[in-house]
Structure 1
Amino acid sequence: MSSSLRRGALAASAIAFSIASLAACGAGNDAQTLGIKPDNASTSVGDIKVQNALVIIQPEREAEGPAAVSATLFNTGDSAQTLDSITLDGIGPAEVKAAGGGSVTVPAGGTVVIGGEGNAAAVVKDGSALADGANHKVTFAFSETGDVSLTAFVVPAQSYFSSWGPSDIPAVPEASPSAPAAGEGEAEGTTPSATGSPSATGTPTDAASASATESGAAEH
């Protein structure tokens, strides 16, 4: 075999080995690509997994009002579990209710979304102590699994999170148009009524009567 052919065979072998190595990174249960974790708060305890946990505060930094907790709950077990409470560390429990009212139940092998239109809701009455960009400990208590705690991101109800935030957001009052100043737009020393208006001295009927009288005098 010539030297050029040997070099070609070695290059082809190197390429094939590289492709095989890359394929191995994305294959199997121990694939390296599975080690890439999403940039959101998630944890699991027993049959319960909490994912995409967020604490969503008022859109304005200085605004006072409630805050909302948003998360997705997974139940991989064979029996349903009730979400008994959601508590924010140092602040207190949130008011939790299902989409149709009542308690939140995560069915066996099912999922429940908290936050957003048509979903279950969890609201803290006063979120003024929560700061944009902070991380805050949130504990989800379930009927069988017990406490599931994680650190959730705190974000304002803006952009992507505007429809997931607290329903009670104070409206910003619109500025009312100011009334024009007295006499504004009028010439100095004039009155609102213009000189030479259509109602001039004398009427068309008076002019016609005078014309008729002169005509009769001429005939006599």
Structure 2
Amino acid sequence: MSRSLRRGALAASALVISIASLAACGAGNDAQTLGVRPDNAAVSVDDVKIQNAIVITQPDPGAQGPAVVSATIFNNGRTPQTLDAITLPGTNAKVQLKAGEGNGPITVPANGSVIIGGKDNASATIENGHEAAKNGDAQEVVFKLSKTGEVKLDAFVVPASGYFKDFGPTEIPKPPAASPTGSPTTTPTGEAGHGSTPSGEASHAAGH
């Protein structure tokens, strides 16, 4: 195996491990106790650290439908912060935020963390994701927090397959329903209402 291929394989393994670790990191964990050092996007600004940031598209290449932003946000400050917006500069994407519970804002507790993406967690849905992000690209993502302000990073864009499946879009487009084989496409001969007399009708009338 060449050096470049070996280095790529190691990076991919580290990325998979870091994403799998999201499920084990619940809100309220102390960021200092989490020893994960992922190869995917991570950045720190003041008291905020964003880790494991990725954009996850539909599992089928080219499929139309929403994408999502998945990340873990840590707050090492003494006061909670809210995630007010996520934007993708250079695109027309609109990102809809939703808290894991209730209809309130996504709150990052003091000395704690919040996971975006995955079952029962907060979510950030890119409504026109198939237009905004392409697999294999690095997309700039901006997280706007109530106290820290804008936190920017470049996130990998990957499909919702393999280890990313559980963190991907919950809305998967269904293929269009096919017409049943052999569906009639013509009007039966002699159908009432089209001026035709059903076979045998004249002889039946003659009998009366």
Out of 146, 156, 161, which is 2:164 matched to?
A: 161
**Higher Rg of the two aligned structures:** 1
Q: Which has the higher contact order (CA 8 A, sep 6+)?
A: 2
Q: Which whole-Å deviations, capped at 9, do the CAs of 1:165-211 have from their partners, x for residues lacking one?
A: 111111246879857xxxxxxxxxxxxxxxxxxxxxxxxxxxxxxxx
Could you tell me which runs of 5 or more consecutive residues in structure 2 were left unpaired when the two chains were aligned.
Answer: 1-34, 183-208
For the Cα contact (< 8 Å) 1:89–1:138, is it kept in 2? yes
TM-score (norm. length: structure 2): 0.65
Looking at structure 2, the residues matched to 124 and 160 of structure 1 have their Cα atoms a distance apart, in angstroms, of 20
The within-5 A match list for 1:18-167 is 38-91=38-91, 92-100=93-101, 101-129=103-131, 130-167=133-170
Structure 1 counterpart SS, 2:143: strand
For the Cα contact (< 8 Å) 1:55–1:68, is it kept in 2? yes
Could you tell me which runs of 5 or more consecutive residues in structure 1 were left unpaired when the two chains were aligned.
Answer: 1-33, 180-220
- Aligned residue pairs total 145
Point out 4+ residue stretches in structure 1 off by more than 4 angstroms. Answer: 173-179
Structure 2 counterpart SS, 1:170: coil
Looking at structure 1, the residues matched to 71 and 81 of structure 2 have their Cα atoms a distance apart, in angstroms, of 16
**Amino acid of the structure 1 residue aligned with 2:146:** S
Identity of aligned residues (%): 51
Alpha-carbon RMSD: 2.0
Looking at structure 2, the residues matched to 158 and 174 of structure 1 have their Cα atoms a distance apart, in angstroms, of 24
Give the equivalent residue in structure 2 for 1:30: none
Distance 1:39 1:119, change over 3 A: same
TM-score (norm. length: structure 1): 0.61
For the Cα contact (< 8 Å) 2:94–2:127, is it kept in 1? no
